[in-house]
Amino acid sequence: MITKYKPKASSARAASSQRTRKTYTRGRYAGAKISAPKAAAKEVFHKDKLRVIVLGGLEEVGRNMTLIEYNKEIIIIDMGLQFPEEDMYGIDYIIPNISYLEDKADWIKGAIITHGHMDHIGGIPHIIGKIGNPPMFTGKLTAGLIRKRCEEHRACPNLNISEIDESSVAQLGKSFKVEFLRVNHSIPDSFAIIIHTPIGTVIHTGDFKIDYSPVNDKPADLNRIAQIGGQEVLLMMSDSTDSTHPGYQISESSIGDEMDRIFEKISGRIIIGTFASQLSRIQKLFDLARKHNRKVYLQGRSMNDNVDIAHKIGYLKFNPGILIRDADLRRLPDEKIMILGTGAQGESNAFLVRVVTGAHRTVSLKKGDTVIFSSSVIPGNERSIQNLKDQVVRQGAHIIHYQMMDVHAGGHAKQEDLKLMMRLLKPKFFMPIEGSHYMLQAHADLAEQVGIPLENIFVPDNGQVVELSIAKNQTKIDSKAGFGTVKIKDSQTGRIILVNGELTKEKIAADYVMVDGLGVGDVSNIVLRDRRVMAEDGMIVVIATIDSKTGDIIGNPDIISRGFVYMKENRELIEKTRMKVKNLVREHKGTSRADDDFIKNKIRNDVGQFLFSKTKRRPMVLPVVIKV
């Protein structure tokens, strides 16, 4: 199938941008706006320079979004979310900052989504309408998952999605001809992106691993990858998630073989926790359930949604009769049941956590159950997962996890696979993406090992601009840190030209935009700091009532403590705090009404210092002055 797309007239796109660049007026995100600079930034035109800008995914795992820009034309790769860190209290997730794009809707010629994981599609409902709802290109399964996610967000416009496969070609604007390379990952329909530009070919690998026997997918086409490398690749951007792990990634098929042996030995119920997006794993589990005559009880909204979408379009193959409902769970013997759900990372509202805490409506653990954690530990979740495991064994169930047996295969290439991909593609410039800085640097070291010169390897931060341009001096080859010159064949003329690559000092806004309930971007770092203070040291409210005529304090100040001290057991401290407030007010008796803020600040500072001297803790002090 050949997919071709010609953008609409820029005036129509601009009008569309004006229509969609509004405050949400209905639905879950009513009144919410993306937190970005409100004043339109002055457009700067970098003539004949290929600019690569990553808005998320260079300093974290998640929030992936990359821009490729040339002569007032932009294509976007992925629009993902990042799950909050432990100290981001109350935050649901984080999305990229798109302020750079908000006045460039007519520049955007298309968005390409590499695959259907949330760190690549999760930001779409919040972003796509703000940038003029450009055409989107992605695989069939990914398109289904995106449409499902947008159904949950009323502010998401009707999407213009073109479904692609490995034979598709899309012409986006004048500058970009895009082809697609199917790669293996933990979800079907994953693609690397081949972008032909006026300067040279750019490869974005997306998330990938090299799997010679994948489940429900074709193995990586190494011949085509080598052919692309033979045609010269100017810049390669490559997945760094497992760049710190030596060796090769194991095949998903081998996980199925290990699971098969486990199933043969288990007589009770089998409860499996995995990611809802691990559709290759889920397919293998359905196959094993059929082989061992077990029925499958699906749990978790995302698990049910993903299985339903993948089954409808033919990416999951199973007889619907294998699925059971609540009544069947109580009726069938334990050896006939497999329960499949989410929560292997210890997420608070996921299926496994609700089971072990007794909050699940139909499933509770019992002696004889076997719980399989079929996923690796995401960094930062270690404590939550350990607590979950402790509760599982306390209730008499057995545990099997990936460190005991091969019950999980990662979806990302390890070091030897990464080096193989670089050797096949032979890029002139290399840029690691999708990982923390430590992972990017480890990947950069691998690139140097396979022979890519250090000056041609760029390790930017989020928002830092990489520029590629034809050298003005076609006889001089420069090489210094962050700047390199390479020889490459011009695809149009066939002659050898020199191209400069530079990791510039230019940096655009790429800070966090946080989604918190109904709000998108209305939680700042200051709000998070206040939440951290309240979580760590609590808060204390001081209410002082003052006679507006005399300035005398009326009665004793009221003290309310939350998360600081238990007032009944700390009466002496509370009474001393009251006296401190009374003395402060008396000292400023007779001040004008304009000095109310001064009194509040004095109470806040002096009471805060007093409480710290007594407790070595700094609660948030909230003074309230009432004049009667």
* Residue-range domains of the chain with CATH: 10-34+47-247+411-519 (3.60.15.10), 252-401 (3.40.50.10710), 538-627 (3.10.20.580)
The packing angle between helices 596-615 and 571-587, to 10°, is: 150
pLDDT of residue 553: 79
| Between 423 and 393, the higher pLDDT residue | 423
pLDDT at 593: 47
The pair of three-digit structure tokens given for residue 617, joined into one six-digit string:
């803790």
pLDDT tens for 124-173 read 999 999 999 999 999 999 999 999 888 888 778 999 999 999 999 999 99
* 528 vs 497 pLDDT, higher one: 497
pLDDT value, residue 20? 35
Residue 315's SS3 state is coil
**Amino acid 526: pLDDT:** 60
| Residue appearing with tokens 């986006």 | 172
Residue listed under structure tokens 């962050």? 482
Q: Is 149 within 8 Å of 277 (Cβ atoms)? A: no
Write down the residue that tokens 């404590």 correspond to.
383
Residue 412 annotated to the active site: yes
What's the confidence (pLDDT) of residue 2? 42
Query: Could you report the per-residue pLDDT of 208-264, keeping only the tens digit for each?
Result: 998 887 777 788 888 999 999 999 999 999 999 999 999 988 777 777 677 888 888
Query: What kind and span of H or E run contains 187?
Result: none
Region 615-625: mean pLDDT is: 82
Given 412, 417, 443, 537, which residue is catalytic?
A: 412
Please name the residue that has the structure tokens 């996921």: 350
**Band of pLDDT at residue 32, cut at 50, 70 and 90:** very low
DSSP letters for 211-258: -SS-SSSPPP-HHHHHHHHHT-EEEEEEE-TTTTS-S-PPPHHHHHHH
What is the average pLDDT across 304-330?
A: 88
- Of the chain, the end-to-end C-alpha distance in Å amounts to 77
**Which of the residues 78, 239, 242, 369 is marked catalytic?**
239
Say if residue 623's pLDDT is above 60: yes
Q: Note the pLDDT of residue 202.
A: 96
More confident residue, 380 or 109: 109
DSSP assignment, residue 391?
H
What pLDDT does 347 receive?
66
- Structure pTM? 0.75
Residue 378 pLDDT level (bands cut at 50, 70, 90): low
Burial string for 393-403 (b: 16+ CB within 10 Å, else e) reads eeeebeebbbe
Task: Confirm whether 239 is a catalytic residue.
Answer: yes
Query: What's the average model confidence in pLDDT over 282-302?
Result: 89
Strands of the sheet containing 539-546, edge to edge, are 558-562, 539-546, 620-627
